[in-house]
A and B are shown apart, each in its own frame.
Chain A
Amino acid sequence: MASHDWQALVARHARATGAGNLPPQTIDELAAHLEDLYLEGIEAGLSDSDAFSSAEAALQESALSIVPAPRTRTPASRPWAVPPERERGLIGLSGDLRFAWRQMRRAPSFAIVAIVTLGLGAGAATAIFTVVNTILLRPLPFSAPQQLVMLWEQNLEKSLPREHVSPVNFMDYRAIPAVFQDAAAWWRPDINLADPGAEPVRVSTIEVSGNVFEVLGVSPALGAGFPARGPFYSRDLIAVISDRLWREHYHSDPSVIGKPLRVSNGQYTIAGVMPPGFNFPDDVDLWLRLNWDLTQHSRGAHFMQAIARMKPGVTVEQASRELSRLTARLGSENPATNRAWNAYATPLLDDLLGYYRLALIVLLGAVALVLLTACLNVASLLLARATARAREIAVRAALGASRARLVRQMLVESLLLSAAGTAAGAAAAFVFVKAAVAWLPMAVPRLEETTIDARVLAFTIAVVAVTAVLFGLLPAVILSRTNASEALKAGTRMAGSLRGRRWNRALVVSEVALACAVLLASALLVRSVSRMLRAPIGIVSTDVVVARVQVSGGSIRSWDDVEQFYAAFLDNAGAQPGVEAVGAATALPLDAAWATRLPFGVEGTTVAALDNPLAQHVSVTPGYFETLKVPLAAGRLFTAADTKATEPVIVVNETFARRVFPGGDAVGRRIISKTRNIGPLGVNLFGPVPFRIIGVVGDIQHAPIGRPAEPAIYHTARQFPFRPMHIVARGRDHAAVAAALRQAVRAVDPSLPLSEMRTMDERVLAAVAAPRLLMFVLTAFAVITAALAGIGVYGLLACVVNDRRREMAIRMALGARPAALARNVAGQGLLLVSIGVFVGLSVAQLLFGRLLTQVLFETRTTDPVAAVAAAALLLGAAVIACTAPARRAATVAPLEGLKSE
């Protein structure tokens, strides 16, 4: 009597007939049965092979797939007690889970693909949600932050939508009793910490009204800070420092309170240290209490920033309405300075985030599409596999499993997959976000506070549930409808597959459409960013190094000293090797912080006070325009000969010349600038006297990219000196230029620091940092969705080729050319992708056309180049996805198909 491996025989047969991996107990039981049959044959006198054949025949006539799989009996541990009725549901669920687990183990490659796909989608979603949660959803660390608003002024007639506020106006706004509890205002002086015996350091400083911490509702960690209900401004100079400055500069010395703090414009007393992580209005290290009376400044100078706390129950809209009412009155009372000026309030958080808020909303939308694409992809995978399981399901239905029970089982399988995928994706996302935050070159507000909290976890769990239903429900419902007898009658090449494939096609088209929408969005961003980078800013930015100097200290006491310092410094720097040209200005191109737009008059004309034109005032040194290669349209530029001793002169930009002198005769005319001071750190050495226009230069962008050019007046720093200046120097070798600037400053005054050293190109890039970041992240999402869609197309075509193998073999046998079959398969794929692209392009407009418009620069959402690029990329991906199935179709052997039934 030969020995036979009955278990192996049963397992092989089970797999061959689509029953999959039976549990070991069932295999044992069936094997024992077969062995008994075999032994019966031997006993009846059959030969070994005949006895084996009869046992095998008994197996062959059995459709093992009807044997229910979820049996986990073990010889020892089987409980005898019948579970009480109410426990059945739970036990059923654990059975479902075990069954689902076995289904995953049975087809590991399917499980891996599904988990990776879901992981990509869920990971991207979790990453973005973590960021959204940190930045948008978490309340600001101030008391009742929803009552805090920023105050802004605007003059739409002069296309200035958002300006800092004038100090005098601010005092009026603060006094609106109906809406505001209190308001604080600040401006940013340039401050060096100048402790004796230590290197001078630039510190980020605001000079702010004494009530700021009360308005915010925060207290210092150390010391009393500015006295509660103390004066709004005071000559008594006190300062509060940041935790960072306290640690780095004062070595966390608790006795620092009351100690003197020497800065470039005086000596303050340290009154407090703020708690770690406190940064308002941004990364500020030094809060100086305001030491001058805001009401004594000008209504026409817009350079203060302001925050207000609204009374409880007051809305932002109410506050803005009250502000408008007041500004209308101020406009009629002070037409020269306030006509057409309006003020409004914006929620503090929106204000802090700016572009990032919109960008995050766009990303949230994009990531939803990525996740949806991943779900559709897994749905079509499940569907493809499910058609292969149709028989199993039909048998289970025939054996009495209800439809609800079948759907539940399949949903449990989906849940297991989505839980695994989401867990993997979320874990990767957390690591990735941490790394990305550390790596990001720009400061995104609040981002460094990223943590995982209950809300993120809840979101992740929601992702698991929603995705499981999204991708699991459709296949489950389709399959549970499968007609049992139909499935049982059909051969191994499934019935029901036809309907499944139809759904599968719909899924693939949807995937492609979604991928197309995301691709389109990223293509639009690419267009927008490249347009921003190419937008004319009026200068040649390559090979220019910029740095910042703030003169202060013992040797420089008068404005003449300031003027002479810069003259000597620039002479020295210009003579250094590697420096082709050098100059300085009070505001660099793209400087959005520029806020000094001041009124002026034109000599010989009687301009009505109401039409008082505004212009930006910039003070520049001789050499500045030459260094930046700003074109000279008429007249001449400043020279070293234009000094305090000669006639006051200015250069204006083309917009100024065009608006004020439409006849084109600007050069030689005189204007009266009433400006004596621009902030406390610069001074007009002449007072309110006429300045002669000596030249007209091309417009330099002195606002964020995309704003229209404004009239600008350039003074020479020799007649209108400033303590802080931006240095610009041209030279091919940037390192040599930087070294030359350092060398020059050391030669003239070794106590002065050079700060913010970088190239002009880096500044230009930094100006588009936020849209570029959005562009990169969107592009990453676009690549993921396009890849998912490509996988979807590939999967579908592979199934189709598999389904049609026999038909193709017959065609081949009848003389069809392989290339024609390949074309047929590839054509199907490309047709689906084309439909998807068309749907995607149209739907993208509806889905987020309006939202995208807000983050795009001079790019319409209907941009044809972006649309063509998105379509071409997807079709390219589709061609790659079609290649392998098409090749397989071309290599079907004519005989193979005939044998396969």
Chain B
Amino acid sequence: MLRRPAIGEAKKGSAEVVILSIVEQDSQHGYAIAKLIERRSGGDLRFTLASLYATLYRMEERGWIKGRWVEKPGQRRRCYYRITEQGRKVLASQRADWGRFLAVLSQVAGVEAV
């Protein structure tokens, strides 16, 4: 298992691929995205409020995801993010990159992918 500081480093680069993979299937709002990341990473990956939304907005600006405001009766309006075509391409290429990276890492450093 990676040690904490290393996770921190890796997290920076991986934040986008993680978020893309979360919204790949379904559009999600920010809180749900945070919860899903936390749950899927077993609590190892956590975003602060600000970094989560900063990343979301940046990705949106790049055209990888799209936010849509949805208002439901009796609820706060929320912005649901879904992946765009461009986002899918980015996700696919990043998955490939990370796959190669982890493979190399396990081969060279004897690290096993979890």
Contacts and interface: CB of A to CB of B under 8 A. Distances in A.
A236 interface: no
Interface in A375-403: 399-400
Given A32-B78, A399-B54, 13 more contacts: A29-B30, A33-B31, A33-B53, A37-B31, A62-B49, A62-B51, A64-B49, A67-B53, A68-B58, A68-B61, A73-B69, A74-B69, A82-B84
A580 interface: no
A73 B81 CA distance: 13
B76 A71 contact: no
Nearest to A55: B49
A36 B31 contact: yes
B90 to A, nearest CB: 13
Nearest to B68: A78
A203 interface: no
A29 B84 contact: no
Contacts of A68: 54, 57-58, 61
Given A36-B31, A400-B58, A29 B51 contact: no
A74 B53 CA distance: 17
Interface of B: 29-31, 34, 48-51, 53-54, 57-58, 61, 63, 66-69, 71, 76-79, 84, 86
5 contacts: A61-B49, A62-B49, A62-B51, A68-B57, A80-B68
A653 to B, nearest CB: 88
A59 interface: yes
B33 to A, nearest CB: 10
Nearest to A33: B31
A699 interface: no
Contacts of B68: 78, 80
A748 B92 CA distance: 114
A829 to B, nearest CB: 40
Nearest to A17: B50
A63 B61 CA distance: 20
B76 A31 contact: yes
Contacts, number: 72
B51 A71 contact: no
Nearest to B48: A62
Contact of B50 (A37, A66, A82): A66
Interface residues of A, number: 32
Nearest to B75: A32
B34 A75 contact: no
A32 B48 contact: no
Interface in A39-63: 58-59, 61-63
Contact of B53 (A30, A80, A82): A30
Contact of A25 (B29, B63, B79): B79
Contacts of B71: 75
Contacts of B54: 66-68, 399
The 9 closest A-B pairs by CB, nearest first: A62-B50, A75-B69, A36-B31, A62-B49, A62-B48, A32-B76, A33-B31, A66-B54, A82-B63
A416 B67 CA distance: 30
A581 to B, nearest CB: 90
Interface string A399-432: 1100000000000000000000000000000000
A90 B49 CA distance: 31
Contacts of B76: 28, 31-32, 35
A64 B50 contact: yes
A264 B17 CA distance: 103
A134 interface: no
A32 B71 CA distance: 12
A621 interface: no
B28 to A, nearest CB: 12
A67 B50 CA distance: 6
Contact of B77 (A30, A61, A75, A399): A75
A582 B15 CA distance: 102
A33 B58 contact: no
A232 B47 CA distance: 98
B50 A63 contact: yes
